[in-house]
Every structure is written in C-alpha cells, then in structure tokens.
Amino acid sequence: MESAHGIIPAYLLARLAQSGRFPKAADAARQTLLAGRPQFRARLNLSIDEHGDLVAELTDAPNRTISDANGTETLPGAVVRNEDDPPVDDASVNEAFDGLGATFEMLLAAFQRNSLDSAGTGLDATVHYGTDYDNAFWDGERMVFGDGDGEVFQGFTRSISVIGHELGHGVIQHTANLEYQGQPGALNESMADVLGALTEQFSLGQTADAATWLIGAGIFTDEVQGQALRSMIEPGTAYDDDELGKDPQPAHMSEFVRTTEDNGGVHINSGIPNRAFALTARALGGNAWERAGTVWYRALTGGLSQAATFRAFADATVEAAEREYGEEVTAAVRDAWTTVGVLDAEGARRAG
C-alpha cells in the first residue's frame, strides 16, 4: 500500500493539539496524530438520430463504492452506497459519492482520463473514519474521510476541492509517482491541489478569473479565523488564527522554507508551484482545466522524474506548452514561473 497523504498537514494538527481555546479539537488532533493514516464501467447513452433511429453510445462512467467505518479505524467498513444506488439519508455518504463523481467527470472531460489509472478503475471511499478524526486522505487504494472535531474542523466530505485533491494523489501515483519528500513532494502536493481546484471549478462551471483558488474552503468552523487550508493565488493568506497560527506557505522561491518537518515542507512549499499554476490560468483566461490544466497534466504524464525539482517541472510545463499551443501559452507559463522565482527573466533555470 502507498503511504497516505492527508489533506491536513501534521504541523497544523500539532499546533491544534496544544490549543487551550479548542479543548475538544486539541484532543481530536492528538488522537488523529496518534492514529496515523493507515473495475471498468461504462454508461449507455440513448438518443434518436435524424432518421428517427435509436442510437446507443457507450461512454466511460464512474464506478463508485462508498463504505462507512462507523467511527472505527478499520477499513474499508460496510458498503452503504454503490454506483446505481439512490441517495441515502447520510449527507456524508452522498457528498463523498458526488465528489468522487465530480472528479471523474473533470478528468474525463479535461484530459480524456478514464478514472485515476486511465483504465476505468473503481472509485472507493470510506466515510466516518475514526472518532473526531481531523483529516481526509488517500491511502493508495481509497479515499478516507474523518468527520472532524466540530470545534475547528467540520466534515471533510463537504469540500469538492479536498476530494479532488486526495483523488489527485491517485492520479499522481499512477503517473509520475513523485517522491513524497522535499521539492518533488511539494510538487506532489501542488499537483494534487491543481486537480482539486480544477475539479471544483469544472463542477461549478467557473472560469479562472471567477474562481476563488481556495483549497478546503468550508472545512473550518466559524470559530476559526480563516477561509480555507490554502490559497493557490495568494499563498500564505488562507488563515490567520490565534490558535492555529498563520498560513505558512511562501509565494516565491526567495521565501522557500527549509525544514525537516512535513517531509521537508511538502504542504508548505507547494504554495510556490500552486501560485505559478493559478497565475498561468488567470493570464490565459477562460477555463483553467483547458489550456493551463492540459499543460500541467502533460508535464505530469510526459516522463517526469520521480525526483523532479521545481525547476525541472517548470521546464516540463514550458516544453508542454510549446508542443501543445505555441508562443502565447508558452509565454504565460514562463512568466508565471518567473514571477514565483523558479525561472529567471529569460526562462533559464535558477538555482533553488
């Protein structure tokens, strides 16, 4: 099994574990830290052609299974909803089901990718994992959702960007499989954020200009001074709370954080490539899952090294833009990486 990647970084849980303002959340954070992170389907579309004949067309379709851990840390739990089942009385089950479907539809429409492995693998998720569990994660096989503690974190199924992010780790696992350490680990987190943001924007029909570029909006309670876990367009501004501290993400290579925590800052330094993508999408306009998204996806799936650095990935996106679109898109990509300090003004490599 692949190592799990949780949406809530350990440094934020560690900070929360010391909270005096949120005693229940502090206990939940401690328990979460102790607990750790442990088929092809098609749809038939029927239509009538111009001659009045019935036309049947097979297209790719998701195959979702939602299970309920019922407050335990045993996976997968009891199956509570399959692909062809109607909505149930449990909102978390239905939100997970819809979020998995939204991610599948974005991957298919934007990149012609049939599920996480591009071969139609089923999408599995477990809800109600643990007691007051303050995280959601991809464990290499399925999406797992805690319910949050109720003081700081609410149920994680309510955020489509969180679901798209965690399933994004599944896409990365089946493509470049970026090492989860240092710069390649931060790229892993960033690419998952890109896929999470694109899933939300595709689901809402939002253009790059209209999008919030927030990851995890809605998972904080009203007691927290913050709007989301991360802001892709303005890293470092997502939250600023007396107990949780200030969002530590840098927006430029000059602020790159060198640390041994958080697998070398994978959740922190991802702000730099996040901003590069958001700036590219805004500069190009329209839907971010089209030109900007395609460039990033081609870079991810075009033979990228597992140990890729920021500059190696930046070069890969520039090359992908040149192949796919030409100078206008290439210039936008190069300008974005220059703005965040990964490339210099001529697009050459920088040390970093």
267 in active site: yes
Asked if residue 216 lies in contact with residue 274, where contact means CB atoms within 8 angstroms, the answer is no
**Which one from 128, 165, 169, 267 is the annotated catalytic residue?**
267
Give the SS3 label for residue 276.
Answer: helix
- What type of residue sits at position 130? G
Q: Which two tokens stand for residue 228?
A: 């989301």
Cα 162 from Cα 177, distance rounded (Å): 19
Cα 205 from Cα 180, distance rounded (Å): 32
Asked if residue 153 lies in contact with residue 134, where contact means CB atoms within 8 angstroms, the answer is yes
Cα 160 from Cα 186, distance rounded (Å): 21
Exposure on the CB side of residue 93, measured as CA atoms within 13 A? 19
> Where do we find the tokens 């574990």?
17
Q: Which two tokens stand for residue 59?
A: 């297209």
Q: Which two tokens stand for residue 223?
A: 């007691």
Residue 79 φ then ψ, to 5°: -65, 130
Give first-to-last CA distance, the chain, whole Å. Answer: 32
Beta partners for residue 239, in sequence order = 226
**Which one from 166, 179, 200, 243 is the annotated catalytic residue?**
166
Residues annotated as part of the active site:
166, 267
